[in-house]
Amino acid sequence: MRILITAGGTHEYIDPVRFISNASSGRMGYALARAALKAEHTVTLVTAPTSLRIPNGAKVIRVETAAQMFEAVKKHFRLCDCLIMAAAVADYTPARPAKTKIKKTGQSVTLTLKPTTDILKWAGKHKNEGRRTKDDRRIIVGFALEDKALRTRAEKKMRNKNLDMIVANSPSVIGAEKSNVQIKRLDAPWIRIENNTKSAIAKEIIHLVEKLQSSLK
C-alpha cells in the first residue's frame, strides 16, 4: 500500500520568531512510518518539526504550520491508499501574525486565534476521489486524545469525520515512550493495547490497516 502518514505538532506563528505549539513528540507518527516500511509499504511522511531521526526509506516532507501540512496532505492524498493522521495539528492559529517581531510594552496582550482547516475531516469528505471502482477504497485513520468519555467521544469523531479507524488515548501518553491506546474500526469491537511501546502499537495499527484493506477487496 502507499501510506501517507503525518507526525509531530505544528507550529503556529505569532510573529517571525515566536509560535504556539503543543507537547507532541512525533514518536507515534515516526513509529508508524517505521512499521509501515518494515511491512514493505511505500511511505510518505509529512512531518512537523521534531527531534527524531528520519526513518530510512520514507519520502519525507517537512512542514511547520497546520496550513502547510494541509497543503502537503492535499498534494499527496490522491496517490495514497491510506492516510494516517498521527500529527497533533493545531486547531487554532493566530488570526493576524505580526510581520515583524512584537516588542514588549509591559502591558498584558490578547492573542486572537482563528480555526485551522480540519485536515482529517477534509480527507473524510474526499475519501474516494480518484479511485477507480467503488471497491477500490482509501482507508483513513485518525487519532483522538480524550480526557474523559474516551470511547464515546472517539467513536463520534470517527463517524463525524468519515474515518475507517480511530486510535484513542489520553493526554498522559503525550511524549512518553510507552503508551495505552484503544482502537475502534467501523464494524468491529474496541481493541485495548496497554503499556506497550509506541513501536509495538504502531505495528498493530499497520496490521489492522492491512486487514481493513483486504476486507474491502
The residue to which cell 513501536 is assigned: 199
Is 46 a binder of ligand CTP (CB under 6 A)?
no
The single residue among 33, 72, 119, 202 that binds ligand CTP, judged by CB under 6 A, is 119
Is 120 a binder of ligand CTP (CB under 6 A)?
yes
Q: Name the amino acid, one letter, at 49.
A: P
Q: Is 160 a catalytic residue?
A: no
The single residue among 57, 91, 152, 159 that binds ligand CTP, judged by CB under 6 A, is 91
Is 58 a binder of ligand CTP (CB under 6 A)?
no
The residue among 91 and 177 lying less far from ligand CTP, judged by its C-beta, is: 91
Note the Cα 112 to chain centre separation in Å. Answer: 25
Is 118 a binder of ligand CTP (CB under 6 A)?
yes
Give the count of beta carbons closer than 10 Å to the beta carbon of residue 20: 16
The residue among 14 and 90 lying less far from ligand CTP, judged by its C-beta, is: 90
Q: How far is the CB of 144 from ligand CTP (least distance, A)?
A: 5
Residue 146 cell numbers, joined: 480524550
Sheet strands (E) in the chain? 2-7, 12-15, 18-20, 42-47, 59-62, 82-85, 92-94, 113-115, 139-145, 165-169, 178-185, 191-197
Give the footprint of ligand CTP on this chain (CB under 6 A).
66, 85, 87, 89, 91, 116-120, 142-145, 157
